[in-house]
Structures are given as C-alpha cells and as structure tokens.
Structure 1
Amino acid sequence: MNDFIAARSQMALSLGFHIIFSCIGMVMPFFMAVSHFYWLKTGNVLYKNVTKAWSKGVAIFFATGAVSGTVLSFELGLLWPEFMKHAGPIFGMPFSLEGTAFFIEAIALGFYLYGWNRFNKWFHWFTGVVVGVSGLLSGILVVAANAWMNNPKGFDFVNGKFSNIDPIKAMFNDAWFSQALHMCIAAFVATGFAVAGVHAFMILRKQNVLFHSKAFRIAAVFACVAALLQPLSGDISAKNVAKLQPSKLAAMEAVFHTEKGAPLIIGGIPNEQTQTVNDAIRLPKLLSYLAYGDLNATVKGLDSLPADERPPVSITHFSFQFMVALGMFLVLIAVLYFIIILKKRSWQEKRWLLKLFIIATPMGFLAVEAGWTVTEVGRQPWIIYGVMKTADAVTPMPGIVYSFYIFTCVYISLALIVIFMLYRQIKMVGQLYDIPQQENIA
C-alpha cells in the first residue's frame, strides 16, 4: 500500500466511523424530545424512563462523535494540505458555522442532562429540542462543505489560482440542498431502524417489555416515515447528480457508452476492460427518464471522458445498487408497519414483525456507508470536481501507511468500547428505573 492509497484509506475509515455517530447524534435527540413530550403531557412514568435512558445514549454518542469529528478536521489538514491551502478560504464558512452549532449543542445537552428537577419542565424539554436542532444543523453544514467538493462554486480559477472568492455562493452551491436533504433523511432512517431493532430484540427476550414497547413505537414511526420519504429525496439527488456530475452518474449506473434512451441497469457485474455489464436486468429507456424526465434523453457514458478522469466503476456501481436495495427493503417494512398500525393493530404483537425490525437493525447504516462510498468514490479522481485531482492534494510526508494502521486500531478499540457501554446501558435499564415487568405489549 503506497502513501496515497493509505491517505485515502485513512480518510475513508475516519469518515465511515464518524458518520455512524454523527447520524445518531443528529437524530436521537428528537426521539428523546418526543418521549419527553409524552411524559409531560400524559404523566406516564414509562416515557420519563425512556427519555432518561435515551439521554444517556445521546451523551455517549455526542462524546464519541465529537472526538471522531475532531480527528477528521485535523486529517483534512494533515493528509490533504494542498487541498486545504486553496479550498480552506472558500468553503471554510460552513465549517466555522458548524463549530458554532456544535457549541450550542454542547451547552444545550449540558442543560438537558443536569436540568432534571432544576428547570421549568417545559424549558427543560426545550433544551432537548435545541440539542436535536443544532445537531441537525451541524450535519447540514458539513454536508454543504462536501457538496462544494462535488459542485465547486464561489470562486474563479484562472492559471491555477483561486480568486474572487464568495463564501456564501460556495456554501449554497447547487448540490448542497439535495445532498443535505438526502443525508438528513438517511440519518433518520438508519437511526430509527437501529433503535427500533434494539428495542424489538429486548421485547422478544421479554425484558422490560412495556418500557421497550414504548421506545420501539417512537423509533419505528420515525424510521418508517423517513424510509417512505427517502426514495423521493433519492430521486432529487440523482437528478442533481445527472446535471452536475454526469461522470458519477455513469459510474453509478455502469454506463460505459453514451446512449440515447439509456436503459436502467439493475444488478449486473461491470467489466471495465471490455466496457460491458454482464448478468444485468435492463429496463429500456428508464434511466433517461429518471435522470432527465425524457425517455429519449441522452445519457453521457464514461467514453465521453478521458481515461484518466473516469471514476472507478465497479465499486461505485455495486455500492449504489447495494444502497438502493437496502433502501427498498426498508420501504417495504415501512409500508407493512403502517398497514399494521392502520388496519391490523393486533399484529403489532407478532414475533415475526419484531424479528423483521431486528433484521433491519444494521441496514440503514449499511445504506449510509454505501451512499457515502458512491459520493466519494464516484467523484474520483477529483478532490474538487473538475478543478483539483486527489493525487495532487495529498501530503508529501512519508509513512502515512503506519498512521493508517494506528488509526485503524484506535477506531476498532473505540467502537468496541462504545458497544460495551451501550450494551451495559441497555442491560441496566431495569435496574436504573422502576419499570413494570409485563409480558404483553401495552
């Protein structure tokens, strides 16, 4: 492994690790706020217990997300100094605003965790809402910075120099809205199904059934609503990619040759040497329609690009297909769950339904990881699309491969610690709170 691949691998590892905790940190406070609201309105102590249990999880993920996010910030400068030298002044605004949002989130979380029986009950609840809103805003701002890398705006690039910098235009580039929308909804899908799956597992084990049932329903509704919205945001995002990054679209859909009325490819194994896709299902003209709203629209293939500007096809295509497959599976669960709520309420107690949510527990996060793989690998070989190549931005410092190995060990250790802490927190629920042991789901 050379230093360039090691730098990219370390960045991928750091981002892949951080994105899980940032998603949970963005979404869990909203679950917590809803449960807290039910406690204030109904006086049902179970909702108070769920709120307190979730608040401890929020604290764990906030701390882990803060550490992993800080590491990412340092890595941008250490691994990609040439990129930060030119790009820092242009897209630094969303990062600085994200720091402000993070600051507000930290203060609000402190108020919330230590505000029980100290503040007015509605002010206390409001601080929890602030935690969620500021966390969501942090995520949107970071995605805006990434969107700039995919659609660089707010500057003139002449003779290798950046001039006439407009940070506002850079932050609100043409890609930020579609990326931010897709990412935020994905965070709710991933976190919702993960939380619902954990509580479904505890219900099946008949441990604190009433407690976990209340928590399961809140998380499941969030997850299923988001899952139904995600295909719509995905369509907006894909159309945006088709307009702004045709090379990424070509890699996502394994379009090797420019074609009018291009078919939508489902599955298939791309062969970059022969520029063909084997064993695929082809739906005539559907890609042209989905991308441009016209059955006969021309879709640019990879043959329209120089060989050294083509993104890796196989990994981008497989990641995209994997993400879509997982997303559609979660949509089916969402449709089934809402049918049960509206028409077959007695099925809410069925073991097969709980098992379905348990199976879905990791799927949202797997889809998120696949989606970020599409976003980052599909942009290659550019770190700033059409302006600066990734190979030109990497640090000249030798020995990056050893840094990659060290960080891999650190992240694995940190993941194991977090899993242990969460396991202990879930296991201790019955000891921390006075929760009725009931076998039925009430």
Structure 2
Amino acid sequence: MEDLLAARLQMAVSLGFHIIFACIGIAMPFLMAIAEYKWIRTGEQVYQDLAKAWSKGVAIFFATGAVSGTVLSFELGLLWPTFMEHAGPIFGMPFSWEGTAFFVEAIALGLFLYGWDKLRPWVHWGTGIVVGLSGVASGIFVVAANAWMNSPAGFDWVNGQAINIDPVAAMFNDAWFSQALHMTIAAFVATGFAAAGLHALLLLKDRNNLFHRKAMKIALAVGAIAAIVQPLSGDYSAKDVAERQPAKLAAMEGHFKTSQPAPLIIGGIPDEEAEEVHYAIEIPNMLSFLAHGDFNAEVIGLDQFPRDEWPPVLITHIAFQIMVGAGFVMMAVGMVYLYLYWKRREVLFQRWFLWIVGLCMPLGFIAVEAGWTVTEVGRQPWIIYGIMKTKDAVSSMPGLQYPFYLFTALYLLLTAILIWLMRRQIITLSERYESASAN
C-alpha cells in the first residue's frame, strides 16, 4: 500500500469514527436536558430515569470522543507534517478555543452527573444546558478549522511561505458558517433519529414500555424538526460551494461540461473517461437554480479545470446522492411523525410506524459519513484548497500502512466496548419498566 493512500485511509477511519462520537456529544446533552425539564415540570419519575440514562450515554461518548479527537490531533502532525508546518500557525486558534470548550463541557458534565442530590433542580438542569452548548461550540470550532482547508484565508502565500498571518480572519473564513450550520443541524438529525430508532425497535418487544415511549417521542421530535430544517442549510451550503469550490460542486453533481442552463442530475454512475453520467434522471434547469438561484444561470463544469485537479468524481457523486437521499427520507418521516403527534397520537406506537422509525436509526449517521466524504474527497487533490496538494503534505516516513492497521483495530475495539456499555445501560432500565408495565 502506498504511503499516501495509507495516510488518507487512516485519517478517513479516524474521522469516520470520531464524527459519530462528536455528533452524539453535540446533540445528546439536549435530549437529556429536555427529559430533565419534563421531570421538573411534571414530577414523573420516568423522565428523571430517562435523563439519567441519557447522561450516562453522554459521559461514555464524551470519553470516547476525547480519545478519538486526541488521536486525530496527533495524526495531523505525524501524517501531514508539511501541512502542519505551514497551517499550524494560521488555523491553530479554533483548536485552542475547542480545547477551552472541551474543558467547560467536562466540568459541566461532572456537575450534572454528580449533582442530582446536591444542586437545586433548575441549577442542575442548567449544567446540562451548559454541557450541550459547550459541545456545540466545540464542534463549531473544529469545523471552522476544516472550513479553512476548503476556503483558506488570513494569510498571504508568497514563494511557498505563509506571511501576514491573521488567525481571526483564518478562523472566520468564508466557509465556516455554512459548514458549521450544516454540521450542527446534522448532529441533531443523526442523534435524534438514532436514539428514536433504538427505542422504537425496543418498543416492538414491549409496546407498553413507558420508558421507551417517552424516549422515542422526545428523540424523534428533535430529529424530525432538525431534519425538516436541514434542507435549508443544505441549499445555503450548496450555493456557497458553487461560488468557492466549483470543481467540488461539479463532482458532487456529476456535471462534466459547463452549461447554461444546467440540469440537475439525480442518481446515476459517473464515467470520467466518457465524461457523462449513466442511468441518471435529469431535471432541466434545476442545477442552475439550486447553485445560483437563477434557472438560466451558467454552472461551471469539470471541463474548466485541469484533469489532474478533478476530485474523484464517482466517490463524491455517490456520497452526495446518499447524503441527500437519506436526508429526504428522514425529513419525510419527521413530517409524518409531527402530523401524527398533532392529529393521531394513537398511531405513533403501532407496529408499522415503529418499524419505519427503527429502520431510520442508521440513516442520520450514514448521511453524516457521506457528507464528510463529500467535504474531504470533493476537495482533492488539495489539502489546502488551491494552495497545497495532499500528495505534497504527506509524511516521508515509510510503512504508514502499519499504523493504519493498528488504529483501525483500536477503533473497532473501542466501538465494541462502547456498544457493550450502552447495551447494558439500556437493558437495565428497559427491564425495570417492563416489570412496571406487567404489573
């Protein structure tokens, strides 16, 4: 295996696992805060039990996220030393702020976990809100650093060196807001549907289980609202990419030839040699509108870029289609849920709807993984867009495939332990409420 491929695969595996832990760390604290809020207002014990169960999940994912995030920070320096030599002084600020948010989150989580009988209810609830807000802030700061790689700012590049460095301008680059907004909402979609799907599947065994009923309703409400809002942020992000990274947009859409107007391509398999997409559905003029808000606008195709600067079109296009398809499925399910909750609540726990929600459990994280594939693969061959190519940043150390194998094994082991811990937590409370419903 070539060192460049090994380094890229190691980063892909590390990021692929970490993004799941990070998304849950962003959204799950708000689920536990909603549950505690309902306990304070109603006094129903099930809500306190739910808040405690979800808080233990937050603690587990916080620990695993800390481990995987630390690994990623080391990998940046060890696998991409040339990149860090130039980029470190420029985009180091969001990482330092992320560290601050991480410490605030850790302190607030400690107060939440151990303060149930020591803090006043509303004060305790407030610590849960701080956990959630600091988790969101932490995610935004990391995404700002990634956005800088897609939209470099805050420096002048002269003779292969960065001068006139402005870290604030680098952090608040042109891409940070659209990426941070889209990623934050995606975290709520993915976590909401994952939690709701898990409790829905458990309800199939015992539809009278009060614990799972309350949990599914809270999680699905959060996921549904986020899924309905997400296409708006997606449209904003797509228009932003069309302006800043037209080659990425062309790869996402399988748009090989510049055209005015441009059709939207749905599905299909891109053929880079023939420069066409096979088996696709085309909607005339729609890409022009989605990219530029004008049905007759020109959309730049891959023919405007040197062939060696094309992103991998097949991977980028398919990943984009998966992300959009999964997003629209969850949006549809979310709309159905909100309608049923408003008009026909008795249907919410029928087997057919529980199966639908259960099958949606992995969709959010599939969409997140596909979206990050679009972001990272669609930027290639650049590690700093338009400035430095990925092949020029990789470490010269040989044998990079061995740490790739090692870290992949470690992540699989970490995931197995995490699943075991979460399963034990859920089964314990599930059995308690099974007994209660039987009585």
Q: Name the structure 2 match of 1:294.
A: 294
Q: Is the 8 A contact 1:319 1:370 kept in 2?
A: yes
Amino acid at match of 1:10: Q
Deviations 1:229-286 (A, max 9, x none): 0100100000000010000000000111111101000011110111111111111111
Deviations 1:12-31 (A, max 9, x none): 00000000000001110000
Amino acid at match of 2:365: F
Q: Name the structure 1 match of 2:116.
A: 116
Matches of 2:323 and 2:189, distance apart in 1:
12
Q: Name the structure 2 match of 1:437.
A: 436
Q: Name the structure 2 match of 1:153.
A: 153
Instruction: Tell me the SS of whatever aligns to 1:437.
Output: helix
Amino acid at match of 2:377: V
Q: Name the structure 2 match of 1:104.
A: 104
Deviations 1:196-223 (A, max 9, x none): 0111111111177101111111101000
Amino acid at match of 2:72: L
Q: Is the 8 A contact 1:210 1:436 kept in 2?
A: no
Q: Name the structure 1 match of 2:390.
A: 390
Q: Name the structure 2 match of 1:239.
A: 239
Matches of 2:38 and 2:12, distance apart in 1:
40
2:263 is equivalent to residue 282 of structure 1: no
| Structure 1 position 425, deviation (Å) | 1.1
2:309 is equivalent to residue 309 of structure 1: yes
Q: Is the 8 A contact 2:209 2:433 kept in 1?
A: no
Aligned residues with identical type, % of pairs: 62
Deviations 1:289-313 (A, max 9, x none): 1100111211111111111111110
Instruction: Tell me the SS of whatever aligns to 1:162.
Output: strand
| Structure 1 position 130, deviation (Å) | 0.5
Deviations 1:67-109 (A, max 9, x none): 0000000000000011111001110000000000000000111
Amino acid at match of 1:437: A
Instruction: Tell me the SS of whatever aligns to 1:428.
Output: helix
Instruction: Tell me the SS of whatever aligns to 2:278.
Output: strand
Q: Name the structure 2 match of 1:414.
A: 414
Amino acid at match of 2:367: A
Count residues with an aligned counterpart: 439
Q: Is the 8 A contact 1:202 1:208 kept in 2?
A: no
Q: Name the structure 2 match of 1:428.
A: 428
Deviations 1:311-355 (A, max 9, x none): 110000000001111111111101111111112222112111111
Alignment of 1:1-80 (within 5 A): 1-80=1-80
Matches of 1:336 and 1:207, distance apart in 2:
20
Q: Name the structure 2 match of 1:163.
A: 163
Matches of 1:235 and 1:301, distance apart in 2:
19
Q: TM-score when scaled to structure 1?
A: 0.97
Matches of 1:181 and 1:34, distance apart in 2:
22
Q: Is the 8 A contact 1:207 1:437 kept in 2?
A: no
Q: Is the 8 A contact 2:189 2:224 kept in 1?
A: yes
Matches of 1:417 and 1:98, distance apart in 2:
26
* CA 434–276 in structure 1, closer or farther in 2 if over 3 Å, else same: closer
| Structure 1 position 434, deviation (Å) | 6.8
Q: Is the 8 A contact 1:250 1:256 kept in 2?
A: yes
Q: Is the 8 A contact 2:6 2:404 kept in 1?
A: yes
Matches of 1:355 and 1:404, distance apart in 2:
37
Q: Is the 8 A contact 1:46 1:435 kept in 2?
A: no
Matches of 2:167 and 2:319, distance apart in 1:
32
Alignment of 1:215-234 (within 5 A): 215-234=215-234
Matches of 2:42 and 2:276, distance apart in 1:
61
Q: Is the 8 A contact 2:260 2:298 kept in 1?
A: yes
Matches of 1:405 and 1:434, distance apart in 2:
43
Between 363-372 and 254-263, report the one with greater CA deviation: 254-263
| Structure 1 position 438, deviation (Å) | 2.4
| Structure 1 position 406, deviation (Å) | 0.7
Amino acid at match of 2:334: A
Q: Is the 8 A contact 1:29 1:132 kept in 2?
A: yes
Q: Name the structure 1 match of 2:200.
A: 200
Q: Is the 8 A contact 1:181 1:233 kept in 2?
A: yes
| Structure 1 position 436, deviation (Å) | 6.0
Q: Name the structure 2 match of 1:352.
A: 352
Instruction: Tell me the SS of whatever aligns to 1:22.
Output: helix
Moved over 2 A (4+): 433-440
Runs of 5+ consecutive residues of structure 1 not aligned to the other structure: none
Instruction: Tell me the SS of whatever aligns to 2:280.
Output: strand
Q: Is the 8 A contact 1:197 1:360 kept in 2?
A: yes
